[in-house]
A = this chain, B = another copy of it.
Amino acid sequence: MGTPLEAWHEIVRTRDGAALESLLDDDVIFESPVVHTPQLGKRVTSLYLRAALALLNNEKFRYDNEWPGPSSAVLEFVTEVDGITINGVDIISWNEAGKITHFKVMVRPLKAINILHQKMGELLAARSPV
């Protein structure tokens, strides 16, 4: 296994849900582009990240730029959903065990947030255990 960052890129390439689970710390925090309140824990973070990957990780998706630090990194991406360009960053932090402890996403412009809000809502409603 490589660095957490390499593992993340591999998950984006392979869409491997089990690899995603094993990369997330049990107490990982997810912060969405839409909602202020952080989401706590592996179950809900995994749910959000799978929905986000299902929506954004299409044939238009690419990482454009990367700013790595010792225990965190910023990855800038561009993709397109329903003809709307979505430009965003993943801010990913990890611990010494190589597990992701914090995953934050921001996107621009306003149209991109709005479509993400709508589509993520639909996806999460369909996937959530009721």
Contacts and interface: CB of A to CB of B under 8 A. Distances in A.
Nearest to A85: B36
Interface in A3-61: 31-36
Contacts of A89: 74, 89, 91, 106
Max chain B Cβ within 10 angstroms of own Cβ: one of A67, A87, A108: A108
Contacts of A69: 67
Contacts of A36: 85, 108-109, 111-112
A67 B76 contact: no
B76 A34 contact: no
A114 to B, nearest CB: 8
Contacts of A91: 76, 89
Given A104-B108, A110-B113, A113-B113, 4 more contacts: A35-B109, A67-B69, A67-B72, A89-B106
17 contacts: A31-B87, A31-B108, A32-B109, A33-B110, A34-B108, A34-B110, A36-B108, A67-B68, A76-B91, A88-B106, A104-B108, A105-B108, A106-B106, A106-B107, A106-B108, A110-B114, A113-B113
Interface of A: 31-36, 65, 67-69, 72-74, 76, 85, 87-89, 91, 104-114, 117
